[in-house]
Structures are given as structure tokens and as C-alpha cells.
Amino acid sequence: MGKPLFYEILEKPATSCIIGICCAIWFYIQKKNIGYSHVGLSYETAIEGHHWRIITSAFSHISILHLVFNMSALWSLGVVEQLGHVGLGVEYYLQYTLVLVILSGVLVLGMYYILIQRFKIEYFRRVTAVGYSCVVFGWMTILSMKQPSSKLELFGFLSLPISFAPFESLIFTSIIVPQASFLGHLSGIIVGYAIAWGLIHGMNNYWAVSMLGWIVLVFVFSLKRSSAYDFNFLEIESVTDPSLPSVRFLASGNGRTLQMSALPVGDVELV
């Protein structure tokens, strides 16, 4: 007989918080009838300055099945938090989750750029990606290298050897779910291997907090510049050198409004 859910949540605090955040965002999206084109990541929105979508696309899910699949896999991968004795643990999990969210999103955009500019495949210009799978596939890969004897549990009854799970899941989702983003999942695997092999290393609490601070700043300023959100207390003005913004903070007003820009709707990919 397994442990009560309450004790499992205490053993996986970071995973539980992320799952809670993703579920809350899904509920908000459903309640407000927000579409994937408003929160998803695409090549066209990126070149228009919507860099904030790297974050919103990762934590947003449109369909309940997509949410359940990703959160089920993430819950199983939360075992990383309990493996402090092999160099993993809660801090490692939080630090490299930040890395996976950002780098996998940037890598997806890089792949889109190469396919569009080098190979002239215009299909990828307006493909919109949403979902947490980039991070899920990254943790599958890291765990397969660090703890190859582990199992990946899906939906409470399907068990996969973690050593094969990244590529098994990559092929399985590509066949079963036609909208699944092969490039999005592959980017998570690539970043996962880079972390597991030590190509990306040296993260600690100082660098994690610094990185989080930069993420928040870029997120806020890109929201402002792309007119996706009107921050009345923040203004960006031109100075002598137009490439350098001058920032000043004004008294906050009460007229904050959320405005979603009208973007051309293309194809959606689930990540």
C-alpha cells in the first residue's frame, strides 16, 4: 500500500507547486476562454518581441488531456527531489528547471529559425507551441542518466524504464498525438543531455536567484514593449543613444488593463 498523498506532496514540494501552478493556469485559461495564440510561442511572435511567451507557453495547457499527461509524467519525475544523496535534490530540481524552461524555449526558436531561413520551410513560421513537455522530457533525460534504474509512471498504471523513456515517449507521442511538437520535445531532450553530461553546470542558489531576476525583468519589459500588458507605472523613453532605453518609475494608477494583441492564428503544437 502506497503512502498517503499528503506525505507524497511533502516529499515533492517543488513538483507539487509546479503542478498546482499549471493546473491553476489551465483553469484560468478555460474560464477566460484564452486561446493558444494568446499565450503560445511561435517564430513570428518572437521576432515581434513577445519574449514573455517563452514563460507563458511552458506553463499553459489548452486541453485537459494534454495537462493530465504532462502533470502525470512530472509527478513521477518528482523523485528527483528525493535523490539528494546522488547529487540531485530539491535545490538542483528548482535550479535546473529554470534552465530547462528558458533554454528549451530558446532552442525551439533556434530550430524554427534554421528550418525557415535555411531550408525555407514556411510551415514553422506560424506554428505555435504550448505546454510543459520540454521540461518534462528534459527531466526524463537527466534522470535516465543519473538514476537509470528508475521507472516513469504514467496515469498510475503505465510504467516505462526511465533509461528508454525519453525516446520512447518522443516516438509514442508523435504517433499517438499528431499535434505533439517533435521539435519541442527534442529540445527538452537535448538540453537534458547537456545538463546530465555537465556541459551546463555550476548552477547554485546565487545564480538561480540572479537568473530568476533577469527572467522577471525581461518578462515585464517584453510585455510592455509588445503592448500585451499596459504597465502604467513603467515608461521606457528614448535617450541620445536610441539603442539604450531610459527607465523611470511613475506613481502607479488603477487603470491596468489586460489586452491581448490580435495575432494571426497558425498551427498549434503541444509540448
Report all structural domains of the chain as residue ranges with CATH numbers, in order of start. Answer: 33-226 (1.20.1540)
- Which residues touch 129 (CB under 8 Å, ≥6 apart)? 40, 41, 42, 57, 108, 181, 184, 268, 269, 270, 271
pLDDT over 80 at 42, yes or no: yes
Percent of the chain with pLDDT over 90: 62
Active-site position among 57, 144, 185, 187:
185
pLDDT over 80 at 270, yes or no: no
pLDDT over 60 at 258, yes or no: no
Q: How far apart are CA 153 and CA 193, in angstroms?
A: 21
- Region 97-101 average pLDDT: 98
pLDDT over 60 at 159, yes or no: yes
- Region 148-174 average pLDDT: 78
pLDDT-derived band of residue 162, with 50, 70 and 90 as boundaries?
confident
- Region 40-67 average pLDDT: 94
Active-site position among 133, 144, 163, 187:
133
pLDDT over 90 at 53, yes or no: yes
pLDDT-derived band of residue 238, with 50, 70 and 90 as boundaries?
very low
Percent of the chain with pLDDT over 70: 84
Residue type, 246: S
Q: For residue 266, what pLDDT is reported?
A: 65
Q: What is the mean pLDDT of the chain?
A: 85
Cα-Cα end-to-end distance for the chain: 33
- Residue scoring higher pLDDT (236 or 268): 268
- Strand pairing category for 268-270 and 151-154: unpaired
185 flagged as catalytic: yes
Q: Are 82 and 12 in contact (CB under 8 A)?
A: yes
Quick one: CA dihedral 80, 86, 87, 90, positive or negative? positive
Q: Are 15 and 81 in contact (CB under 8 A)?
A: yes
pLDDT over 50 at 255, yes or no: no
Q: For residue 229, what pLDDT is reported?
A: 74
133 flagged as catalytic: yes
| Total-model pTM | 0.84
Q: For residue 99, what pLDDT is reported?
A: 98
pLDDT over 60 at 24, yes or no: yes
Lowest mean pLDDT among 119-123, 172-176, 217-221: 172-176
pLDDT over 90 at 71, yes or no: yes
Q: For residue 1, what pLDDT is reported?
A: 47
- Region 94-116 average pLDDT: 97
